[in-house]
Amino acid sequence: MSMDFSRRLSVALALLLGSASASGLAADLTAAKAKAKMCAACHGIDGIATVADAPNLAGNGELYLARQLQAFRSGERKHPQMSVIASGLSDEDIAAVTAWYSAIKVSVELPE
């Protein structure tokens, strides 16, 4: 698969899912997924948490996720791990990881 093709594919996917396009944030989900690898140890690359004290990020709104990361970064919201992680994120990093996690489609099944 050529770079051009996979780039077009990821942009098409972003448009289809209406995530990155709606907010004008990073549309390149391939690069966004690569960025999200730094979150995967706790939140999973699929946005389903791998550790008991971390929340699932999959399918959350892009605006909501970005606000939480900005709040950790500014110190408005505090957590021993997330405050440190968020302090190292640029606005572009936040746009990329939130584009990735918000673009993941989730389905739910209610308990009987």
Q: Is the Cβ of residue 17 or residue 54 nearer to ligand HEC in the bound state?
A: 54
Residues engaged in binding ligand HEC (CB under 6 A): 38-39, 41-43, 53-55, 57, 65, 68-69, 79, 81-82, 85, 89, 97
What's the closest the beta carbon of residue 43 comes to ligand HEC, in angstroms?
Answer: 5
Q: Is the Cβ of residue 21 or residue 60 nearer to ligand HEC in the bound state?
A: 60
What's the closest the beta carbon of residue 22 comes to ligand HEC, in angstroms?
Answer: 18
Q: Is the Cβ of residue 78 or residue 105 nearer to ligand HEC in the bound state?
A: 78
Enumerate residues 6+ apart whose C-beta is below 8 A from 106: 47, 58, 59
Tell me the two tokens of residue 46.
């699929």
**Closest residue to ligand HEC, Cβ-based?**
39
What's the closest the beta carbon of residue 106 comes to ligand HEC, in angstroms?
Answer: 14
